[in-house]
Amino acid sequence: MARTVKNTTEEFLTWLTIERRFAKSSIVSYRSRLRCFIRDVGDIEIEQFGMEHIYKLKQILHERENSEVFISVALASIKGLLLYCKNQLFIPLRFDPEDIKLPKRPRREVLYLQSEEIRRFRESIDTRPIYGLRFRTLVEVLLGTGMRISEALSLNINDIDFQTKETLVVGKGNKQRTVFFSDDAIYWIKQYLDRRTDKNPALFITTGEVPKRLTNQDNTRYFKRQRIIAGINKKVTPHCLRHCFATHLAMNGAPFTEIKNLCGHSRLETTITYYVGITDKNRAREAHAKYLRY
């Protein structure tokens, strides 16, 4: 049977999950984009796939006025599948998938919380119910380590060295790095574990008679609800807390090389692109206050 986009998709996504350690959210997004490709362009045989199919996809997406981010993910998903067919399945292709150029994503202002907003968000969490204590613990872990939400939710209790306050996580691209916990994060982890009576190895679990490992979908409503309770007008998400971690390090003078390592960025340029504007703006504000005289 000839290989097509449709009959190769799930195999490709499984490979991304196991070998490349893609997050579940990324897999869901890739699956959705590949289904859209099949619907709009067709279930093309891999050996017959040509650049004309990419042009057709681009035309359709632009006519629908999709965002540059949406288009980029759509192209990345089909490019990734073709590279998988070429490099893993050794299927001869009509063109090099590397020739598929992704649009540059517009640089967006990094969303983070000021120190006062972080204090309000923390203190607004009611830790008396176990789910509230769990949420406070998750917030402290994200703020105190800079982990991605997928990394935090994949932690097992035995992964954490409470003496050295560190753990090993596997991030994007199947890359392993050491993550360090703040004193606050360790404190709240211990508080949370002291309240638990189950034997589930996962650090973050659901409540109920049969607890399971917590998923990011379980957390969405908690972040939205807590933002309102805390009176914060910004969109607070797990990734926002990761930005808080890196941004406050940058504003306090941490070298970008160390922020890169702590965040698990593969390239220093990624770290600089995200956070150098923040530090420049901070310095500009200080200079404005210090030197402007008439």
- Give one DSSP letter per residue of 27-75, joined into a string: HHHHHHHHHHHHHHT---BGGG--HHHHHHHHHHHHHTT--HHHHHHHH
| Average pLDDT value for residue range 114-135 | 95
- As a whole number of angstroms, the distance between CA 178 and CA 167 comes to 6
Judge if 185 and 59 occupy the same domain: no
* Percent of residues, the chain, with pLDDT higher than 70: 89
Judge if 40 and 125 occupy the same domain: no
The structural domain count of the chain equals 2
What is the pLDDT, as a whole number, of residue 162?
Answer: 96
Judge if 58 and 130 occupy the same domain: no
Structural domain includes residue 258: yes
Indicate which residues carry an active-site annotation: 148, 172, 239, 242, 265, 274
| CATH at residue 240 | 1.10.443.10
108 by Cβ neighbours in 10 Å (0-12 / 13-18 / 19+) ranks as exposed
Domain enclosing residue 15, as ranges? 5-99
Q: What is the DSSP letter of 146?
A: -
Structural domain includes residue 185: yes
Q: Is the pLDDT of residue 281 over 60?
A: no
Judge if 94 and 122 occupy the same domain: no
Band (284; pLDDT cuts 50, 70, 90): low
Structural domain includes residue 95: yes
Structural domain includes residue 11: yes
What is the pLDDT, as a whole number, of residue 187?
Answer: 97
Judge if 91 and 132 occupy the same domain: no
Judge if 157 and 82 occupy the same domain: no
Judge if 136 and 197 occupy the same domain: yes
Structural domain includes residue 152: yes
| CATH at residue 53 | 1.10.150
Structural domain includes residue 105: no
Q: Which of 16, 6, 1, 42 is nearest to 172 (CA)?
A: 16
Q: Give the SS3 label for residue 101.
A: coil
Q: Which of 73, 99, 125 is the last residue of a domain?
A: 99
Judge if 129 and 87 occupy the same domain: no
Q: Is the pLDDT of residue 277 over 80?
A: no
Specify whether the CB–CB gap between 152 and 141 falls below 8 A.
yes
- Which single residue is written with the structure tokens 């390090």? 249
Judge if 144 and 27 occupy the same domain: no
Question: Which range, 80-89, 174-183, 215-224, 241-250, is most confident?
Answer: 80-89
Rounded to the nearest integer, the mean pLDDT of the chain is: 88
Q: Which of 65, 99, 133 is the last residue of a domain?
A: 99
- As a whole number of angstroms, the distance between CA 160 and CA 204 comes to 13
What is the pLDDT, as a whole number, of residue 285?
Answer: 61
- Which single residue is written with the structure tokens 């990624």? 270
What is the pLDDT, as a whole number, of residue 217?
Answer: 79
Per-residue pLDDT tens for 143-178? 999 999 989 999 999 999 999 999 998 877 677 888
Band (4; pLDDT cuts 50, 70, 90): very high
HSE of 114 in the Cβ direction (CA atoms, 13 Å)? 5
Q: Which of 44, 72, 99 is the last residue of a domain?
A: 99
Judge if 170 and 95 occupy the same domain: no
What is the pLDDT, as a whole number, of residue 278?
Answer: 59
Judge if 128 and 256 occupy the same domain: yes
Judge if 150 and 194 occupy the same domain: yes
Structural domain includes residue 274: yes
Specify whether the CB–CB gap between 245 and 152 falls below 8 A.
no
Whole-prediction pTM: 0.68
Per-residue pLDDT tens for 26-38? 899 999 999 999 9
Structural domain includes residue 108: no
Q: Is the pLDDT of residue 105 over 70?
A: no
Which letter, b or e, does each residue of 219-252 get, where b requires 16 or more Cβ atoms within 10 Å of its Cβ?
beebbeebbeebebeeebbbebbbbbbbbbbbbe
Q: Give the SS3 label for residue 294.
A: coil
| Average pLDDT value for residue range 100-110 | 75
